[in-house]
Amino acid sequence: MGVLLNRKGIVTHVIVGDTKGIMIPSLEDYPLGRKPLRGLRLIHTHLYNEPLNQDDLTDLALLRFDIFVALGIKNGTPHTVYSAHLKPDSNDLEILPPAHISSFSLNFKEFIQSLEEEMNRKRVIDQDDPRERAILISISKEPRYRQEECLDELQELALSADVVVLDRVIQRVKEVNPRYLMGMGRLKELIINALSKGATLLIFDQNLTPSQMKAISELTELKVIDRTQLILDIFAKRAHTRDGKVQVELAQLRYRLPHLSGKGTAMSRLTGGIGGRGPGETKLEIDRRRVRERISLLERELKKLAEARRQRKHRRKQKNIPIVSIIGYTNAGKSTLLNNLTHSNTFTEERMFATLDTASRRLRFPREREIIITDTVGFIRDLPKDLIAAFKSTLEELHDADLLIHLVDISNPRFPDQIESVEKILDELGLSEKERLLVFNKIDRLPPEEVYNICHRYHGIGISAIDKSSFTPLLRAIEEHLWNEKLAPIGV
């Protein structure tokens, strides 16, 4: 049997098990939160007076008890005290020398106070910083350098979501474990490490199936999310217009619906981990129904909004003004270009997904010519399906464009992959046949020869969106495309 005691020495739980072990109940009333230790100590019996075993030590590290004690029983009476606690500066454990119960002595109050103080001191993180602290994880069959690249992008996304990144974990596996992506032992190690670093969140670069999400969440009370959820979260934070808000909420609900699932109520002492945080089955059914109702409400609202947009568009079309749409990977500089082309002031930022809504501006050309130029939400590799679906109506406007400007951040080392991702999404949107200009932005960040070579190789135009004097070749190319003019050739 076992007992859990809180810092005041009050027994909070009495657990009765069998000879194989005990089940530690859900500890949701004693959340770890941002504290280094749980505030509960466990004392339990070892019926054959055996010392602490691997399962004991794993549970101590996973659940971060104040101290972990096994009371060895000999001839039916308490005999040896085996105890261990976490060390302040690593995820190592300190195993105290076994002692006979009559000679065991520990001033718990002093001990826990100094241990916790030292833990707080050794943690480099600021305890008052309210931001989430994440460990980024990639597990796949892809070679390491590919995973590194993907994590670089995930890290930028995390930054955009206001998440502090504490560490990155990459593992190349021969086969992806269907339940945990990696082996359970390795995953537990990772969780223990994350806890000792003070993380609050695990972010997987690979999208998790509902059952994987459930299995991993059952091992830890850290929040577990995947890349899609991170992107959805950024979108949710940044949507400002009614259109954007409705679209994002819809995408979130659609993504969450299959992930709504119950969790176990207790965890096994032998398998470790913690569960029992999920709602009961009936509550879940109600949740599911609510979510479905909300989805259909939002879908109806979206339809209305789309109708209003169609009418606005119709009026614009009647005036017969050509439309040029700037598209491209997130952070390519689309909004900056729109602003500087049209002397306007839409929102730009050194972050991914600064823009979620379409903005249209007029741009005058010589000879009384005028176009409408639009900026839209950025694209990203493996753009979540639900998100494409949700933004379909916004992105549908691209079908009306007479010309697409595909803007590429030439200073991003991953730009060839980014071009490919954008092409793929255009294809999925049925836009691959649209006329388009490939335009390399941020040329101020590279040496001119390199810019020249890249533009030459891709038949692209080089510009710097922050330097209006670099726009001439682009403006000429637009005129040429829209009004079929052969203009005198100019250098890039």
Ligand X SMILES: Nc1nc2c(ncn2[C@@H]2O[C@H](COP(=O)(O)OP(=O)(O)OP(=O)(O)O)[C@@H](O)[C@H]2O)c(=O)[nH]1
Binding positions for ligand X, rule: CB under 6 A: 330-336, 348-350, 352-355, 378, 441-442, 444-445, 464-466
> Which partner, Mg ion, ligand X, none, binds residue 404 by CB below 5 to 8 Å per kind?
none
CB of 473 to ligand X, least distance (A): 14
CA distance 23 to 17: 7
Nearest CB to Mg ion, comparing residues 80 and 335: 335
Nearest CB to Mg ion, comparing residues 220 and 348: 348
> Which partner, ligand X, Mg ion, none, binds residue 340 by CB below 5 to 8 Å per kind?
none
Nearest CB to ligand X, comparing residues 325 and 441: 441
Nearest CB to ligand X, comparing residues 22 and 388: 388
> Which partner, ligand X, Mg ion, none, binds residue 238 by CB below 5 to 8 Å per kind?
none
Nearest CB to ligand X, comparing residues 66 and 357: 357
CA distance 262 to 282: 10
Binding residues vs Mg ion (CB under 5 A): 334-335, 354-355
CB of 412 to Mg ion, least distance (A): 15
> Which partner, ligand X, Mg ion, none, binds residue 352 by CB below 5 to 8 Å per kind?
ligand X
> Which partner, ligand X, Mg ion, none, binds residue 154 by CB below 5 to 8 Å per kind?
none
CB of 452 to ligand X, least distance (A): 16
Nearest CB to ligand X, comparing residues 284 and 446: 446
CB of 64 to ligand X, least distance (A): 38
CB of 394 to ligand X, least distance (A): 13
CB of 413 to Mg ion, least distance (A): 21
Nearest CB to Mg ion, comparing residues 147 and 355: 355
> Which residues make Cβ contacts (< 8 Å) with residue 404, sequence separation at least 6?
324, 325, 326, 327, 398, 426, 431, 434, 435, 436, 437
> Which partner, Mg ion, ligand X, none, binds residue 441 by CB below 5 to 8 Å per kind?
ligand X
> Which partner, ligand X, Mg ion, none, binds residue 333 by CB below 5 to 8 Å per kind?
ligand X
CB of 479 to Mg ion, least distance (A): 24
Of 438, 492, 488, 489, the C-alpha closest to 470 is 492
Nearest CB to ligand X, comparing residues 168 and 334: 334
Nearest CB to ligand X, comparing residues 364 and 445: 445
Nearest CB to Mg ion, comparing residues 116 and 156: 156
> Which partner, ligand X, Mg ion, none, binds residue 24 by CB below 5 to 8 Å per kind?
none
CA distance 412 to 441: 10
> Which partner, ligand X, Mg ion, none, binds residue 358 by CB below 5 to 8 Å per kind?
none
CB of 337 to Mg ion, least distance (A): 9
CB of 347 to ligand X, least distance (A): 7
Amino acid identity of residue 439, one-letter, is: V
Query: SS3 for the chain, per residue?
Result: CEEEEECCCCEEEEECCCCCCCEEECCCCCCCCCCCCCCEEEEEEECCCCCCCHHHHHHHHHHCCCCEEEEEEECCEEEEEEEEEECCCCCCEEEEEEEECCCCCCCHHHHHHHHHHHHHHHCCCCCCCCCCEEEEEEEECCCHHHHHHHHHHHHHHHHHCCCEEEEEEEEECCCCECCCECCHHHHHHHHHHHHHHCCCEEEECCCCCHHHHHHHHCCCCCEEEEHHHHHHHHHHHHCCCHHHHHHHHHHHHHHHHHHCCCCCCEEECCCCCCCCCCCCHHHHHHHHHHHHHHHHHHHHHHHHHHHHHHHHHHHHHHCCCCEEEEEEECCCCHHHHHHHHHCCCCCCCCCCCCCCCCEEEEEEECCCEEEEEEECCCECCCCCHHHHHHCHHHHHHHHHCCEEEEEEECCCCCHHHHHHHHHHHHHHCCCCCCCEEEEEECHHHCCHHHHHHHHHHHCCEECCCCCHHHCHHHHHHHHHHHHCCCCCCCCC
> Which partner, Mg ion, ligand X, none, binds residue 96 by CB below 5 to 8 Å per kind?
none
CA distance 248 to 393: 12
CB of 425 to ligand X, least distance (A): 13
CB of 242 to ligand X, least distance (A): 19
Nearest CB to Mg ion, comparing residues 216 and 354: 354
CB of 308 to ligand X, least distance (A): 23
> Which residues make Cβ contacts (< 8 Å) with residue 161, sequence separation at least 6?
230, 233, 234, 237
Nearest CB to ligand X, comparing residues 110 and 350: 350
> Which partner, ligand X, Mg ion, none, binds residue 360 by CB below 5 to 8 Å per kind?
none
Q: How far is CA 487 from the centre of its chain?
A: 48
> Which partner, Mg ion, ligand X, none, binds residue 330 by CB below 5 to 8 Å per kind?
ligand X
